[in-house]
A and B are shown apart, each in its own frame.
Chain A
Amino acid sequence: MPTLVSHPDEVKVISRRFGQGATDINKYVELDGYKAVQMAIEQGPDWVINTMKASGLRGRGGAGFPTGMKWSFVPKQSEKPKYVLVNGDESEPGTCKDHVIFLHDPHAVIEGTMIAGLAIGAKLGFIYLRGEYRYLLKIVEKAVADAYAKGFLGKNIFGKEGVDFDIITQSGAGAYEVGEESALMESLEGKRGVPRIKPPFPAVVGLYGGPTVINNAETIASAPHILLMGGEAYAKIGSERNGGTRLFGISGHVERPGVYELPMGYNLKRAIYEVAGGIKDGKKLKAVVPGGSSCPVLLPEEIDVGLDFDQMAKAGTMLGSGGIVVLDETVSIVEFALRVISFYQHESCGWCIPCREGTDWIKKTLTRVYQGGGSKKDVANVQYLAENMMGRTFCPLGDAAAMPTLGFVKKFRKEFEDYIEGQKAGTPIITVEQLVGAH
């Protein structure tokens, strides 16, 4: 079972109940559980949406769209039923924060789903977990059953006449692409998880054609805490235009990897050197992938930056899913880039040509470079391919593959060129034979 870590700099809002046995519904209730949803029922949808807007909460899945605004986009009147869909298909390499939420505080996800449902006028919510999280699905399924048994879910919840809400838990079967919201809806409808054309956006035409709010599991789990503490108080914890805290997963070459809850805007350098204990075995830092594998890499001199959506964008990268991957001096960037692109090539759904072909060509080219048979044109070719994938696909998977590639070739160009010249940097971890073993 994943070990819990902690550090004095943490501000525990969403992780407040971790490790306290809150998977038990009675314990959860004892720790202020299901109070927020009852407040939401009393105060009504406008109060909920206004509180969420005031909180400055931005989507924790990676896109960072303001949650209150997203909820307010759902039409008040709709002929078709409305739905809430919780995205727990966490598959971005470097990211394991939702894992911890489902493991330690499944009721927070359930309560958040109910709050979102009340805010938009939906009576049915779905919690969708990736297929690999079956043991976590069992925990969530039990939590949902317990909530039904207490009368918190179903008809006339909390004894309130005419207030109904149901939750269905669902599991995927292994596809990174399904983490994209429209592909997630396709998968939930029992189809191949390929993206839909937008517009129409899910808020208007979503699941089963009805207006749908889709939120990341961490976003949804934040909602009860926000209602309890008040939007303004939550916003104050974070930085400008980036309310609250966030779960950051720090992994790779650090002394104390783990999921830490830090205020938005917390300094990345401190997160690595103080919170996660610095670089493993006293080695030197080489690079940081700050928000999951799709985010452009940062050099050691670029990491003195605040961890929020705006400051990271200013630094030329992204906050993404909050999965910080730390690379020490022994890592070969060519090898690392090849492993990253191999993942995206494997996971491309194949619908859009720039993504399907682009990921494959970049992988083939980098494989050649890594094998020692690269030509001088290869680096420019990789950059050309990645640039031509950007913004040319229906879903962001094309961008997710292109952005890190561009970051690697721009910031470590010399290392790629040295490889082509026959001077290899870093300690090899994989051979090409190993790499093609599964791909």
Chain B
Amino acid sequence: MSEIANTIFSAETAARFDKLVTIYPVRRSALVPMLLYAQDEIGYVSDAVVAEVAERIGILELDVRNVLSYYSMLRTKPAGKYNVQVCTNISCMLRGGYEILDHCKHKLGVGHKEVTKDGVFSLEEVECIGACCWAPAMQVNYDFHENLTTVKVDEILDTYRKGQGKDVK
């Protein structure tokens, strides 16, 4: 049984966190992955997440916030159900990354780090996602989509809108 009262996470995630803090030589090593997994479940790193993670690891909330503000994948505001991250770094840029980004902006009607009104999608322009040889590329949640064209983007977004897209977490 957990030593921390679980208030916000599912039983499965709470059990995962209970294990996570025990595997490392130092408890604090669990912090970054814990914040990511918490975000996957809650949608963002809320104040409640910060408080509970701090307690689970045994550090100050300030220490959690200090780390939270450093990593670009951690967010303190809700994103859409599907977070669309379009890469525009050099390899993607040379093969139409900006065109893909503009197309997504137009299609979803939102800008960088904005969420659609229905909350289904959010859009982000991101730095190199390590898909350079299959450019242009984007990630929807943790799912990669490569060799994009605007037509392919339309198909991908429609699949997610219908709730049929993969959602690798």
- Flag if A192 contacts B133 (CB, 8 Å): no
How many CB-defined contacts (below 8 Å) exist between A and B? 171
Q: Which residue on chain B has the smallest CB distance to residue A169?
A: B33
- Flag if A173 contacts B71 (CB, 8 Å): yes
* Distance in Å: Cβ of A280 to nearest Cβ of chain B: 9
What 0/1 pattern do residues 115 to 131 of B give for CB contact below 8 A with A? 00000000011111111
* Distance in Å: Cβ of A205 to nearest Cβ of chain B: 15
* Distance in Å: Cβ of B76 to nearest Cβ of chain A: 13
Cβ-neighbour of B36 out of A96, A173, A331 (below 8 A): A173
* Distance in Å: Cβ of A223 to nearest Cβ of chain B: 22
Q: Which residue on chain B has the smallest CB distance to residue A170?
A: B33
- Flag if A191 contacts B67 (CB, 8 Å): yes
Q: Which residue on chain A has the smallest CB distance to residue B143?
A: A135
Whether A181 sits at the interface, judged by CB under 8 Å, is: no
- State which size class the interface on B falls in: 35 or more
Whether A104 sits at the interface, judged by CB under 8 Å, is: no
Pick from B132, B144, B146 the residue with the most CB of A within 10 Å: B132
- Flag if A176 contacts B131 (CB, 8 Å): no
Whether A190 touches B90, Cβ cut-off 8 Å, given contacts A2-B134, A249-B133, is no
Whether B57 sits at the interface, judged by CB under 8 Å, is: yes
Whether A175 touches B72, Cβ cut-off 8 Å, given contacts A134-B142, A191-B67, A346-B127, is yes
Cα distance A347–B70 when bound, in Å? 10
Enumerate A48-103 residues with CB–CB distance to B below 8 Å: 81, 90-96, 98-99
- Flag if A171 contacts B33 (CB, 8 Å): yes
* Distance in Å: Cβ of A109 to nearest Cβ of chain B: 15
- Flag if A91 contacts B128 (CB, 8 Å): yes
Whether A258 sits at the interface, judged by CB under 8 Å, is: yes
Cβ-neighbour of A168 out of B24, B35, B168 (below 8 A): B24
Cβ-neighbour of A133 out of B90, B111, B130 (below 8 A): B130
* Distance in Å: Cβ of B136 to nearest Cβ of chain A: 11
Task: Kindly specify which of A145-153, A378-386, A409-417, A430-438 makes contact with the partner chain.
Answer: A430-438
Task: Kindly specify which of B2-10, B92-100, B149-157 makes contact with the partner chain.
Answer: B92-100
Whether B135 sits at the interface, judged by CB under 8 Å, is: yes
* Distance in Å: Cβ of B56 to nearest Cβ of chain A: 12
* Distance in Å: Cβ of B82 to nearest Cβ of chain A: 14
* Distance in Å: Cβ of A375 to nearest Cβ of chain B: 27
Pick from A2, A135, A174 the residue with the most CB of B within 10 Å: A174
Contacts of A361 in B (CB 8 A): none
Cα distance A339–B35 when bound, in Å? 30
Cα distance A193–B74 when bound, in Å? 14
Enumerate B1-59 residues with CB–CB distance to A below 8 Å: 23-26, 28-33, 35-36, 57
Listed A/B pairs (22) with beta-carbon separation below 8 Å: A2-B131, A2-B134, A3-B134, A3-B146, A91-B130, A96-B132, A130-B130, A132-B130, A132-B142, A134-B169, A135-B144, A173-B73, A190-B67, A250-B133, A257-B133, A293-B89, A293-B90, A349-B70, A429-B98, A430-B93, A430-B98, A438-B125
